[in-house]
Amino acid sequence: MQAYSKDELKRSIEDYVKVLYRKGVSEASKKQIFQAVAYSVKDLIIEQWMETHRVYEEEDVKTVYYLSMEFLMGRALGNNIINLKTNKVVEETLRELGLKLEDVEEEEPDPALGNGGLGRLAACFLESLSTLGYPVIGCGIRYKYGMFEQKIENGYQMEVPDDWLRDGNPFEMKQEEAAVIVKFGGYVRMTKDENGREKYIQENYSPVRAVPYDLPIVGYSNHVVNSLRIWDAEAIDHFNLDSFDKGDYLKAVEQQNLARSICEVLYPNDNHYAGKELRLKQQYFFVSASVQRAVLKYMEKHEDIRQLPEKVIFQLNDTHPSVTVAELMRILLDDYDLSWDEAWEVTTKTCAYTNHTIMSEALEKWPIDLFAKLLPRIYQIVEEINRRFMNLIHEKYHCNFKKVEKMAIIYNGQIRMANLAIVGSFSVNGVAKLHTEILKNQQLKDFYELTPEKFNNKTNGITQRRFLLHGNPLLANWVTSKIGSEWITHLEHMKKLETYALDPICQKEFMDIKYQNKVRLAEYIKQHNKIEVDPNSIFDVQVKRLHEYKRQLLNIMHVMYLYEELKKNPRMDIVPRTFIFGAKASAGYRRAKAIIKLINSVGEVVNNDKTIGGKIKVVFIENYRVSNAEMIFAAADVSEQISTASKEASGTGNMKFMLNGAITLGTMDGANVEIVEEVGLENAFIFGLSSDEVIKYELEGGYNPKDIYNQDLGIRTIMTHMIDGYYAPVNLDLFREVHNSLLDNFGGERADQFFILKDFRSYVEAQQKVEMAYRNPEWWAKAAILNVANSGKFSSDRTIEEYVEDIWKLEKVTVEL
Ligand SMILES: *Cc1c(COP(=O)(O)O)cnc(C)c1O
């Protein structure tokens, strides 16, 4: 079937409710209706999915395997029906059944197999690849528990497991016949084959069966459906086990436990490496399964494994899948008998690596003993890659020890996964201009000097289909009414909006839409936080993972400062402001959790202080995730992008805000630099140290925040209020660590390592400019519209075209039904 009429869809929903739940539509719960609608939509997708596969087979296409530990997909139903262009039919059919599409969409669990930006980027990329008609398989892990659900209790974050598969996932398809075996542990035995060639055989290992589940990635209105392939681990059937035959009962149970543990849970760390053995198991598990499958698939149609790079690319999303380099070498050497040089040639033409951060705490390193015990054959290969690479470095730099220290893959008892990825890839890319420059000139300088041709920039992007067309229907319709609908697949067409930015009628229409979106968010806040916020106030929003480098602390300290000013002068004339936060902290990140508590404690005091007449409000939105993010971006006036310059590799939240007509208040960091390049400095609020200044201070060992503290009464007052019970009457120690971290060096950590006090006054000034600007509604409307008009560069469609052109060299396909 190609499309539903309303009658056909109604019948299909009725049939599914009956078959799945033994009920009629009127008796079914909303959740059951969601399932029935989703299955009905899947029936449409299936035709296109099969046809896409057929075309791929027939044309023997080159495919990119996008390897990522994380895919932060968000709900599928709403976007699938938009991309199938069947949303109107679904909406009307449901209305006739007495249901609202919005409410049915709300019943879908929000698949959160990712932490933040990195996982969301992977999701945007897959959607863009389908929309542009390029063959991709997203490869990841089917975590039983995704990103935890955040509950705020008494101002503290609580983590609740996210049992997203509880009711089953109607869109997924288990692919039994594509299962493969992944081997852990044991030892390597060396023998010689009949030609006297050395053979390496892993023995006495623990096998795990990797079974893929495919999820459809529907392109916009083009019949292309790619797959996200997430792997689940199963124990090998007992009766096929050697060890079980020999009566090794304990070994069989161990293998059950290994399989059960691997895909159990997503590590909730964003930009931070924890070094847990289970994490390495997860990495090798999904990499080995994905690479094995890709090679088997290639060999179905081809004779010569040495031509693999003509049809296959492995794109490594950060260092998490770096073991791909060694796993592909293993397969080529051990299963296909290539020589080392042949295998290395194939590997280094197939792998490409994306770097996502310069922060040292995010760099993955594995202790040799742990790595060698878990992956004995892979370890041998990494050793040999390192030995040969070190020979090259010694030769080229005449035993320069500094070079060895920086570039070695194995060093100081550890395996450095970033170095493995760089050496084993033909492309190394950063994710924004500034970030790539820092990689080339600082972090990866030595590698850049050795192989400059590998390095390139791919500024991140976002999909406008989700973050405008789906998330902000009012604005999407308004834009289409002005400039037509080409922006949906060609975001650069937004530029045509510029001519409307100065038109008073358009300004009013635009601000009315923003107002309605603010009303929608205010209702959500009323319902979830029991706080009344005024949709006429400035909605000043910072939503992203809680991390010290992102500086939510700077934001809330400005709120504390403003509150102090209001207390001194309650009649102070300010534009009412609603400060909105949303952020999950990694479960083990103590200081991040203290900052959440601080935000909520400040909110508690400020929101309930009658003497300030409701001029400022602080709202912490619980459980920030893709589904509520869409609504939050639509309602924002101010986009807080205030990371310490040089620390945020790109940011993509900044782009979603811009697309929805919020104005950036930010530092010259990550993609903010390019946002300002596009929209103009005059249409953003920029403050703070530059990345060069930050890096210079860091090379000098930091700066002395006490000088600022001693001179600045305003700063001293709010800092004192962190520890004198002003916001924490019961426990004066709650925020003491946060307070002290701004003033004292501690355990190898510099005082105020993220330059909060250093940037504070500059931030306050920028905030005053925001306030002044908002008093001029014409100016604000114009600047906001210009932000939308100049967001074209930040479509992930543009990013993907650059990957295709410079790295992947894919051909576009067309799929007809
Ligand atoms: C876009 C997005 C992010 C990334 O936001 P940054 O501000 O770039 O860190 C994180 N989480 C969700 C749910 C997102 O949609």
Cα-trace Rg, the chain:
27
The candidate with the shortest Cα–Cα distance to 427, out of 294, 291, 314, 343, is 314
Put simply, whether the predicted model's pTM sits higher than 0.95 gets the answer yes
pLDDT beyond 70 at 130: yes
Is the Cα torsion angle 678, 683, 685, 687 positive or negative in sign? Answer: positive
CA 630 to ligand 1: nearest atom:
15
* For range 309-320, the mean pLDDT: 98
The candidate with the shortest Cα–Cα distance to 464, out of 128, 782, 72, is 128
Q: Which fold has domain 60-74+110-460+802-808?
A: Rossmann fold (3.40.50)
pLDDT beyond 60 at 83: yes
Q: How far apart are CA 366 and CA 387, in angstroms?
A: 18
> Which sequence positions are flagged as catalytic?
356, 544-545, 550, 652, 656
pLDDT beyond 90 at 238: no
Q: How far apart are CA 778 and CA 635, in angstroms?
A: 18
At residue 652, φ and ψ (nearest 5 deg) are -130, -20
Give distance in angstroms: CA of 789 to centre of ligand 1: 22
pLDDT bucket at 727, cuts 50 / 70 / 90 = very high
Q: Answer yes or no: is the C-beta of 651 below 6 A from any ligand 1 atom.
A: yes
pLDDT beyond 70 at 400: yes
pLDDT of residue 246: 59
Q: How far apart are CA 703 and CA 125, in angstroms?
A: 40
Q: How far apart are CA 165 and CA 35, in angstroms?
A: 12
Q: Answer yes or no: is the C-beta of 117 below 6 A from any ligand 1 atom.
A: yes
In this structure, the residue with its CA closest to atom 10 of ligand 1 is 116
In this structure, the residue with its CA closest to atom 7 of ligand 1 is 653
Q: How far apart are CA 270 and CA 279, in angstroms?
A: 14
In this structure, the residue with its CA closest to atom 6 of ligand 1 is 653
Give distance in angstroms: CA of 545 to centre of ligand 1: 7
Q: How far apart are CA 286 and CA 283, in angstroms?
A: 6
Q: Answer yes or no: is the C-beta of 111 below 6 A from any ligand 1 atom.
A: no
Strand partners, 65: 137, 314
Give distance in angstroms: CA of 112 to centre of ligand 1: 12
Give distance in angstroms: CA of 624 to centre of ligand 1: 9
The encoded tokens of residue 486 equal: 């080409």
The encoded tokens of residue 773 equal: 């600007």
Q: How far apart are CA 200 and CA 185, in angstroms?
A: 14
Q: Answer yes or no: is the C-beta of 625 below 6 A from any ligand 1 atom.
A: yes
Q: Answer yes or no: is the C-beta of 652 below 6 A from any ligand 1 atom.
A: yes
In this structure, the residue with its CA closest to atom 11 of ligand 1 is 116
Q: Answer yes or no: is the C-beta of 785 below 6 A from any ligand 1 atom.
A: no
Q: Answer yes or no: is the C-beta of 461 below 6 A from any ligand 1 atom.
A: no
Q: How far apart are CA 659 and CA 665, in angstroms?
A: 15
801, burial (CB in 10 Å: exposed 0-12, middle 13-18, buried 19+): middle
Give distance in angstroms: CA of 467 to centre of ligand 1: 11
The encoded tokens of residue 291 equal: 């690479």
pLDDT of residue 362: 87
pLDDT more than 90, % of the chain:
95
pLDDT digits (tens, 9 = 90+) for 193-220: 998 999 999 999 999 999 999 999 999 9
Q: Answer yes or no: is the C-beta of 268 below 6 A from any ligand 1 atom.
A: no
* Residue whose token pair is 């991390």: 547
Give distance in angstroms: CA of 116 to centre of ligand 1: 5
* Residue whose token pair is 């509604």: 777
What is the phi-psi region of residue 614: left when phi exceeds 0, alpha when psi lies from -120 to 50, beta otherwise?
left
DSSP 585: P
Give distance in angstroms: CA of 629 to centre of ligand 1: 8
Flag the least confident range among 394-403, 502-511, 523-532: 394-403
Q: Answer yes or no: is the C-beta of 120 below 6 A from any ligand 1 atom.
A: yes
* For range 608-612, the mean pLDDT: 97
At residue 462, φ and ψ (nearest 5 deg) are -135, 160
pLDDT beyond 90 at 2: no
Give distance in angstroms: CA of 120 to centre of ligand 1: 7
Q: Answer yes or no: is the C-beta of 626 below 6 A from any ligand 1 atom.
A: yes
Q: How far apart are CA 307 and CA 439, in angstroms?
A: 31
Is the Cα torsion angle 384, 386, 387, 393 positive or negative in sign? Answer: positive
Q: Answer yes or no: is the C-beta of 119 below 6 A from any ligand 1 atom.
A: no
Is the Cα torsion angle 52, 58, 59, 64 positive or negative in sign? Answer: positive
The encoded tokens of residue 521 equal: 């968010």
Give distance in angstroms: CA of 150 to centre of ligand 1: 16
pLDDT of residue 360: 87
Average pLDDT of the chain, as a whole number: 97
CA 116 to ligand 1: nearest atom:
10
Q: What share of the chain is helix, strand, coil (3-state, %, to 5)?
A: 55, 15, 30
Give distance in angstroms: CA of 92 to centre of ligand 1: 32
The pick from 543, 555, 658, 795 for probing ligand 1's pocket by mutation, whose C-beta has the most ligand atoms within 8 angstroms, reads: 543
CATH fold match for the domains 60-74+110-460+802-808 and 464-794? yes
pLDDT of residue 253: 82
For residue 117, give every residue at least 6 positions away whose Cβ sits within 8 Å of its Cβ, in sequence order, or none: 270, 460, 544, 545, 650, 651, 652, 653
Is 338:332 a contact under the CB 8 Å cutoff?
yes
CA 641 to ligand 1: nearest atom:
7
CA 626 to ligand 1: nearest atom:
13
CA 652 to ligand 1: nearest atom:
8
Q: How far apart are CA 400 and CA 450, in angstroms?
A: 14
- The total number of residues written for the chain in this structure: 817
Cα→Cα distances 264→45, 278, 286, 351, Å: 29, 10, 13, 28
In this structure, the residue with its CA closest to atom 4 of ligand 1 is 117
Q: How far apart are CA 103 and CA 365, in angstroms?
A: 45
Flag the least confident range among 86-95, 265-274, 480-489: 265-274
The encoded tokens of residue 141 equal: 């892990």
What is the residue extent of each domain of the chain? 60-74+110-460+802-808, 464-794
What letter represents residue 172's amino acid?
E
Q: At what angle do helices 504-529 and 777-789 cross, to 10 degrees?
A: 90
pLDDT beyond 60 at 244: no
In this structure, the residue with its CA closest to atom 5 of ligand 1 is 653
In this structure, the residue with its CA closest to atom 8 of ligand 1 is 651
pLDDT digits (tens, 9 = 90+) for 333-372: 999 999 999 999 999 999 999 999 989 888 899 999 999 9
pLDDT digits (tens, 9 = 90+) for 23-47: 999 999 999 999 999 999 999 999 9
DSSP 724-778: SSSS-SS-TTTTHHHHHHTT--BTTBPTTTT-HHHHHHHHHHHHHHHHHHHT-HH
pLDDT of residue 546: 98
Give distance in angstroms: CA of 766 to centre of ligand 1: 23
* For range 240-263, the mean pLDDT: 76
For residue 511, give every residue at least 6 positions away whose Cβ sits within 8 Å of its Cβ, in sequence order, or none: 777, 780, 781, 784
* 190 CB neighbour count, 10 Å cutoff: 9
DSSP 445-468: HHHHHH-GGGEEE----B-HIIII
Q: What is the CATH number of domain 464-794?
A: 3.40.50.2000
Give distance in angstroms: CA of 117 to centre of ligand 1: 5
| Order of all β-strands in the sheet with 414-416 | 365-367, 414-416, 410-411
CA 74 to ligand 1: nearest atom:
13
The pick from 652, 656, 665 for probing ligand 1's pocket by mutation, whose C-beta has the most ligand atoms within 8 angstroms, reads: 652
Q: How far apart are CA 489 and CA 269, in angstroms?
A: 33
pLDDT of residue 241: 52
pLDDT beyond 80 at 294: yes
pLDDT of residue 463: 98
pLDDT of residue 251: 77
CA 625 to ligand 1: nearest atom:
13
In this structure, the residue with its CA closest to atom 1 of ligand 1 is 653
* 178 CB neighbour count, 10 Å cutoff: 18
In this structure, the residue with its CA closest to atom 15 of ligand 1 is 626
pLDDT beyond 70 at 260: yes
Is the Cα torsion angle 628, 634, 635, 637 positive or negative in sign? Answer: positive
In this structure, the residue with its CA closest to atom 9 of ligand 1 is 544
